[in-house]
């Protein structure tokens, strides 16, 4: 019979080495916050397919909506023959994305594609080519997104220099000694040393860095960026691919920042496990590119649009924003208790249910424990993820639909794993 080991051997032989896999586990089935592997083992899923499953695996409503769409048609290409669900998703996002102005939306397939298109729109609208991105930011693996991603290994290692016209500012992170003032000064340095503000089309950032380590920008910092962008005619792009779709306790994290972006990207949990992404922005900005300049064969695929509309209904019906905050509080309080016994748990933080545990020892990042804790937790039936520019952060992206008892069981496994590894 099929085993994880046999599939791993075939994977090694057949799949390109650049495609990583965090856990040596192969999936047979999944439902809400539970995954079963090909050997029949059951796992609690705290990874959620990297922030894609805020409504859980195969939410019955999402499944039913996709099944119904599958009876009608699966593809026409929206650029050839339109369909209402694409328009409905755009209408909904125009409402949900923060910003007190008329908005328009375009749909794509992956987060990287959303980022690429956000930059294209900003370039077309401003007639400028420069972009400022941040240290440890993550924006994707396609070429322009990769140029914006602020971490060489493993993302662009061995591929040569990425495209020019990207300038790197420091992301504010008090825990690692970068203040809001330092971060603002790093932008002023770019203006002094590298490029005039009038050559910068956009400043792109994640309101809470995801892959970089779950570090939140402060509302005050975001407001300073907004003021700078307003002064210099620069587009502010909020990459909400990971923070969006309710993870942080508001539908978009920018709602908690007191200012809005000109262009917002979304993907991941917006369609509950189906590939859908998009950008929403000021109507006049979004219209800067003429017909044919935006799109893609699969962008806004009908199955994915049906899923997204169901996800939005589930958020309302099940009050998942409130649930995100409740879950987040419960997880943080459990972690704070574990912190008492394990001083290596240096920081517990998170907006809503986007929770990080940062491991340090003697004042230094302690990535050596992350892999051990991931393995220990997996052996005990819990799937976790790590992240962080120093690789020393454990992150929790559990479905917001997780039953209370299962959440408690997962946190119990986490505690047992800390007890086993952090002696
Ligand atoms: N932006 C952010 C903030 C992300 O977290 C990710 C994915 N981790 C991306 C962009 C890229 O999305 P995708 O992998 O769907 O291309």
What ligand 1 atom has the least distance to the C-alpha of 275? 15
Single out the residue in 282, 317, 352 at which a domain terminates: 317
Q: Cβ(110) to ligand 1 under 6 A?
A: yes
Q: What percent of the chain has pLDDT over 70?
A: 100
Residue 51 lies in a domain: yes
Give 113 Cα–ligand 1 centroid separation in angstroms: 9
Q: Are 271 and 285 in contact (CB under 8 A)?
A: no
The answer on pLDDT for 423 being more than 90 is no
CB 291 within 8 A of CB 222: no
Q: Please tell me whether residues 167 and 113 are part of one structural domain.
A: yes
What is the arithmetic mean of pLDDT over 265-284? 98
DSSP structure class, residue 393 = E
What is the pLDDT at residue 292? 96
The average pLDDT across 325-343 equals 97
pLDDT band at 189; cut points 50, 70, 90? very high
How many whole angstroms separate alpha carbon 256 and alpha carbon 351?
Answer: 9
Q: Work out the average pLDDT over 206-222.
A: 98
- Residue 221 maps to a domain: yes
Check pocket membership of 228 for ligand 1, CB cut-off 6 A.
no
Q: Is residue 292 in some structural domain?
A: yes
* Side-chain half-sphere exposure of 244, counting CA atoms within 13 A: 27
52 and 139, same domain (yes or no): no
- Domain shared by 147 and 83, yes or no: yes
Assess whether 136 and 165 both reside in one domain: yes
pLDDT computed for residue 22 by the predictor: 96
Question: How many angstroms does the Cα of residue 337 sit away from the middle of ligand 1?
Answer: 32
Ligand 1 centre and the CA of 149: distance in Å? 10
> Using a 6 Å cutoff on CB, does residue 111 contact ligand 1?
yes
Cβ contacts of 154 within 8 Å, gap of 6 or more: 20
The pLDDT value recorded for residue 122 is: 98
**Residue at a domain's end among 288, 317, 346:** 317
**pLDDT (mean) for 151-175:** 95
* pLDDT at position 252 over 90: yes
Same domain, 219 and 154: yes
355 alpha carbon to ligand 1 midpoint, in Å?
17
Tell me if 240 CB under 6 Å of ligand 1.
Answer: no
End-to-end Cα spacing for the chain: 38
User: Are 372 and 304 in a shared domain?
Assistant: no
Distance 111 CA to ligand 1 centre (A): 5
Q: Which of 117, 140, 278 to mutate to test the pocket of ligand 1 (most atoms within 8 A of CB)?
A: 140
Q: How remote is the CA of residue 118 from the centroid of ligand 1, in Å?
A: 13
Q: Looking at ligand 1, which residue's alpha carbon is closest to its atom 13?
A: 111
Tell me whether residue 66 is in a domain: no
Q: Specify the ligand 1 atom closest to the Cα of 277.
A: 15
Q: How far is the CA of 239 from the centre of ligand 1 (A)?
A: 9
Q: Are strands 42-45 and 382-383 parallel, antiparallel or unpaired?
A: parallel
Asked if 303 and 405 sit in the same domain, the reply is no
Q: Which atom of ligand 1 is nearest to the CA of 239?
A: 3
Q: Residue 165: give its domain's CATH number.
A: 3.40.640.10
Residue 68, in any domain of the structure: no
Report the pLDDT value the prediction gives residue 164, as an integer from 0 to 100. 83
Q: Are residues 345 and 208 in the same domain?
A: no
Is the beta carbon of 275 within 6 A of some atom in ligand 1? no
Q: Tell me if 239 CB under 6 Å of ligand 1.
A: yes
365 lies in some domain: yes
**For residue 268, which atom of ligand 1 is closest to its CA?**
15
* Residue 134 beta carbon below 6 angstroms from any ligand 1 atom: no
The mean per-residue pLDDT over the stretch 345-371 comes to 96
In this prediction, residues 128-155 reach a mean pLDDT of 97
Cα of 212 to ligand 1 centre, how many Å?
Answer: 11
Q: Domain with 49 in it: what CATH number? A: 3.90.1150.10
- Domain end position, chosen among 262, 294, 317: 317
Ligand 1 and 112: CB distance under 6 A: yes
- DSSP string across 315-379: HHHTTHHHHHHHHHHHHHHHHHHHHHH-TTEEEEEEETTEEEEEEEETTEE-THHHHHHHHHHHH
Residue 245: its pLDDT value, please?
98
Residue 63: inside a domain? no
| Pocket of ligand 1 contains residue 241 by CB under 6 Å | yes
Q: Exposed, middle or buried: residue 25 (CB in 10 Å: 0-12, 13-18, 19+)?
A: middle
**pLDDT computed for residue 163 by the predictor:** 84
Q: Is the CB of 34 under 6 A from ligand 1?
A: no
Q: Same domain, yes or no, for 101 and 8? A: no
Q: 258 lies in a domain?
A: yes
Could you give the number of structural domains in the chain? Answer: 2
pLDDT of residue 1: 81
Cα(265) to centroid of ligand 1, in Å? 10
Domain that holds residue 189: 73-317
Give me the chain's average pLDDT, please.
97
Same domain, 249 and 110: yes
For ligand 1, say whether the CB of 307 is within 6 Å of any of its atoms: no
* Ligand 1 contacts CB of residue 37 (under 6 A): no
Integer Cα distance of 398 and 72 in angstroms? 33
* One domain for residues 306 and 355: no
pLDDT given at position 67: 98
Over residues 145-154, the mean pLDDT reads 96
Strands 277-282 and 263-266 turn out to be antiparallel
Residue 239 has pLDDT above 90, yes or no: yes
The verdict on 209 and 248 lying in the same domain is yes
């Amino acid at each position: 019979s099929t085993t994880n080991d046999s599939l791993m051997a075939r994977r090694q032989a057949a799949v390109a080495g650049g495609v990583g896999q965090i856990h040596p586990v192969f999936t047979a089935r999944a439902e809400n916050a539970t995954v079963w592997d090909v050997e029949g083992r059951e796992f609690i899923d705290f990874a959620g397919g990297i922030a894609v499953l805020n409504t859980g695996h195969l939410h019955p409503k999402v499944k039913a909506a996709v099944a119904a769409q599958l009876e009608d048609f699966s593809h026409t290409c929206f650029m050839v023959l339109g369909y209402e669900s694409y328009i409905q998703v755009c209408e909904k996002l125009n409402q949900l994305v923060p910003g007190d102005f008329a908005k328009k939306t375009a749909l794509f397939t992956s987060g990287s594609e959303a980022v690429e298109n956000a930059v294209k729109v900003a370039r077309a609208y401003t007639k400028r080519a420069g972009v400022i991105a941040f240290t440890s930011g993550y924006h994707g693996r396609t070429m322009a997104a990769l140029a914006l991603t602020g971490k060489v290994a493993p993302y662009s290692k061995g591929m040569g220099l990425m495209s020019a016209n990207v300038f790197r500012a420091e992301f504010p992170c008090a825990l690692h000694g970068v203040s809001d003032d330092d971060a603002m000064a790093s932008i002023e340095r770019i203006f002094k040393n590298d490029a005039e503000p009038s050559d910068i089309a956009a400043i792109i950032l994640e309101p809470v860095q995801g892959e970089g380590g779950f570090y939140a920008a402060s509302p005050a910092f975001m407001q300073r960026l907004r003021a700078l962008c307003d002064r210099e005619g620069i587009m502010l792009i909020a990459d909400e691919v990971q923070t969006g779709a309710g993870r942080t306790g508001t539908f978009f994290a920018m709602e908690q920042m007191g200012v809005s972006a000109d262009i917002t990207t979304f993907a991941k949990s917006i369609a509950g496990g189906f590939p859908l992404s998009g950008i929403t922005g000021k109507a006049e900005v979004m219209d800067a590119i003429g017909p044919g300049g935006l799109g893609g064969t699969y962008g806004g695929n009908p199955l994915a649009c049906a899923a997204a509309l169901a996800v939005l209904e589930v958020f309302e019906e099940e009050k998942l924003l409130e649930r995100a905050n409740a879950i987040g509080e419960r997880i943080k309080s459990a972690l704070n208790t574990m912190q008492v016994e394990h001083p290596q748990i240096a920081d517990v933080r998170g907006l809503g249910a986007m929770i990080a545990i940062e491991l340090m020892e003697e004042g230094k990042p302690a990535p050596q424990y992350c892999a051990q804790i991931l393995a220990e937790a997996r052996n005990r039936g819990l799937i976790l993820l790590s992240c962080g520019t120093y690789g020393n952060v454990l992150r929790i992206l559990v479905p917001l639909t997780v039953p209370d008892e299962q959440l408690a069981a997962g946190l119990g496994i986490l505690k047992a794993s800390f007890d086993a590894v952090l002696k």
